[in-house]
Chain A
Amino acid sequence: MKKLSFFLVALVVAQTSAFAQGRGRGGAPAPPQAPKAAAPIDVTGYWVSVVTEDWRYRMVAPTKGDYQGVPMTPDARKIADSWDPAKEEASGELCKAYGAPAILRVPGRLHITWQDDQTLRLDTDAGKQTRTFRFAAAGSPGVAKLPAAGPHTLQGDSVAEWVGGGRGATDGTLQVTTTNLKAGFLRKNGVPYSDNAAVTEYFEIITQPDGTPLLVATISTTDPAYLRQPFVISSQFKKEPTDAKWKPSDCSVTW
């Protein structure tokens, strides 16, 4: 019995010591890590779209009037019905289907890097778009504050946080919230979202059967004007070792 109690006490002491080391010597809390250092998963690198879903809306230009799957409001339908690719092209605004709610559906490559210790940067070769995901500064509680209403842009303002993690290389989620969007299209056939739309994304790493990483982004777009419920889709990307296939291309209305 004595041996057992000694063993249990030793185990508890060992656990307590290990726990304390994690918080710094003397039990003081360890200094907070910058988001880059605290990242539970590695989303950086080059990634290529794997288009196994919604193929005819993504790999070719979708047909006018084909709205399958999108929970559009009647107002949205009216706008989409009047969409005219020739007029869009003439307007010079060729990137309206490359905004934050749609860009991860465009076939192409992503390049994700750390711009600084608290900002992730996502570049696309298709449409040459750039998004930045801003984390709260090290030591600040919670998520970076959403910016107040300001200029609306194609990629909007995105704040990010790490959710979970710590139990293996693929445990944890990058959650990104985007607001201040400029109105655009969910699909390249004029399915609209308004400048009141907001996007919540969950980026995760899934291990493929061959052991290589797959980046999966679950994308939920809300829009009080043009969507009856959140439009939820998910896109997946395989990792590539280099930038050898990175091929920047301009936005296009017709292709």
Chain B
Amino acid sequence: MKKTLFALALLLVSRAVPLLAEIDLSGSWASINHEDSLERGGGPYPDDWTGLPFNDSGRAKALSFSQSVISMPERTCWFQTQWHIAAGPFSLRMWAVPDPITGKVQAWMVGAWETRAPMTIWMDGRPHPGKNAPHDQTGFTTGVWNGNELVATTTHLKTGYMRRNGAATSDQATITTHFRRHGDLLTVVLFMEDPVYLTEPYILSRSYNLATNPVAIGGPPCIVGDEGVESGRVPHYLPGKNPFTAEMQKYYGIPPEAAMGGAETMYPEYREKIKAAFKRPEKCAINCG
């Protein structure tokens, strides 16, 4: 009888398996940086906020940004929030962490980009911490399976960046990350929501190839150091004083109002608005690939 019961239970479990919709995401994923290549590699132009749906506060914050600010010990690691997965050029290593007793996946780890701690995606149904819990660069992330898609939600982030030219995110930002696998190709779609600096979600999608060369599971950490900014000074530009707001125009003929971003710059209609002001330069002068 016991054997029969065991067989019946096994049958039920085997039938239930297809309902546990998930796909194996583990492995080393080499980043394919064919889009936004300059921005993710060498870095964006200091005045390139095209396609960014930020509000007036977000724009003002970006215009006040001086790269010297990251020489402050308090802000050395400012660039290293989870958004770095989208805005940086780095490959990924993903692996599952099983519960040692049940064997069920307790968390997915997304690791290995420079100066970042691995991202832990908790899969065990634990809630996000309360709103007054501490925020840090890593934030707190939970995940659920939606069919073969892993959807991760990150909260409790410290203030960070959307682009490495001063487009900032607040500590109220939320990142939703969707992982979709197509054989040896991985598509990652990210939504940044920020009630402080954005008028609508900022959407990016990135691609990765399954790699045979292993990606390290953790890069060198971001180390806080004294880089010579005197105590009490925060490097910045006052309104109207940022000297780097004409580079997009100079190199690509892009009208300054387009470089200043905003949600309307994301949609096709905007092309008509800038058509008359756009002048295509004769030849690429810098960062030509």
A-side residues, CB < 8 A to B, are: 1, 4-5, 8-9, 11-12, 15, 48-56, 59-61, 63-71, 107-109, 126, 163-168, 170-173, 175, 202, 204, 206-210, 214, 216, 218, 220, 231-236, 245, 254-255
- By a CB distance below 8 angstroms, the chain B residues around A12 are 8, 11-12, 15
B277 → A minimal CB distance (Å): 10
* Contact call A70/B4, Cβ cutoff below 8 A: no
- By a CB distance below 8 angstroms, the chain A residues around B258 are 59-60
CA distance in complex: A65, B101 (Å): 59
CB-CB contacts below 8 Å: B231-265 with A: 248, 251-254, 258, 265
Q: Mark B140-160, 1 if CB is under 8 A from A, else 0.
A: 000000111100000000000
CA distance in complex: A220, B184 (Å): 12
CB-CB contacts below 8 Å: B43-61 with A: 48, 50-52
For B32, the closest partner residue in chain A by CB is: A232
* Contact call A66/B203, Cβ cutoff below 8 A: no
CA distance in complex: A107, B264 (Å): 13
Given contacts A126-B268, A218-B182, A218-B187, contact A55 B51 (CB under 8 A): yes
* Contact call B207/A232, Cβ cutoff below 8 A: yes
Q: Mark B249-289, 1 if CB is under 8 A from A, else 0.
A: 00111100010000001111111001100101111100111
B238 → A minimal CB distance (Å): 28
CA distance in complex: A50, B51 (Å): 8
CA distance in complex: A171, B148 (Å): 7
* Contact call A214/B203, Cβ cutoff below 8 A: yes
B106 at the interface (CB under 8 A from A): no
Given contacts A15-B15, A48-B268, contact A66 B187 (CB under 8 A): no
Report the 8 A-B pairs with minimum CB-CB distance, sorted nearest first.
A171-B147, A69-B37, A68-B289, A65-B284, A67-B289, A107-B268, A234-B205, A167-B147
- A to B contact number (C-beta, < 8 Å): 192
| Known contacts A52-B51, A52-B266, A167-B146, then 14 further A-B pairs from the complex at CB < 8 Å, ordered by chain A residue | A15-B12, A49-B268, A52-B202, A53-B35, A54-B36, A55-B50, A56-B248, A68-B288, A165-B147, A167-B147, A214-B189, A214-B203, A216-B205, A218-B207
CA distance in complex: A52, B206 (Å): 12
* Contact call B34/A56, Cβ cutoff below 8 A: no
- By a CB distance below 8 angstroms, the chain A residues around B8 are 5, 8-9, 12
* Contact call B288/A52, Cβ cutoff below 8 A: no
Given contacts A59-B270, A233-B207, contact A209 B176 (CB under 8 A): yes
Given contacts A8-B5, A65-B283, A209-B193, contact A56 B204 (CB under 8 A): no
* Contact call B147/A255, Cβ cutoff below 8 A: no
CA distance in complex: A68, B38 (Å): 7
* Contact call B252/A56, Cβ cutoff below 8 A: yes
Q: List 25 A-B contacts (CB under 8 A).
A: A11-B12, A12-B15, A15-B12, A51-B268, A52-B203, A54-B35, A54-B36, A59-B271, A63-B281, A68-B289, A69-B34, A69-B36, A71-B34, A107-B271, A126-B268, A164-B148, A167-B148, A173-B180, A202-B182, A207-B146, A232-B32, A233-B34, A235-B205, A236-B205, A255-B271
B218 at the interface (CB under 8 A from A): no
Q: Which of A50, A126, A236 has the most chain B CB atoms inside 10 A of its CB?
A: A50
B223 at the interface (CB under 8 A from A): no
* Contact call B178/A206, Cβ cutoff below 8 A: yes
CA distance in complex: A9, B5 (Å): 9
* Contact call B182/A67, Cβ cutoff below 8 A: no
B27 at the interface (CB under 8 A from A): no
Our pick among A48, A171, A220, A233 for the contact of B146 (Cβ within 8 Å) is A171
B281 → A minimal CB distance (Å): 5
CA distance in complex: A55, B259 (Å): 10
- By a CB distance below 8 angstroms, the chain B residues around A175 are 182
Our pick among B191, B209, B278, B287 for the contact of A60 (Cβ within 8 Å) is B278
CA distance in complex: A209, B174 (Å): 10
B1 at the interface (CB under 8 A from A): yes
A1 → B minimal CB distance (Å): 7
- By a CB distance below 8 angstroms, the chain B residues around A173 are 180, 182
- By a CB distance below 8 angstroms, the chain B residues around A168 are 146-147
For A125, the closest partner residue in chain B by CB is: B268
Our pick among B1, B5, B203, B282 for the contact of A236 (Cβ within 8 Å) is B203
* Contact call B252/A206, Cβ cutoff below 8 A: no
Given contacts A5-B4, A66-B288, A71-B34, contact A202 B191 (CB under 8 A): no
CA distance in complex: A219, B11 (Å): 41
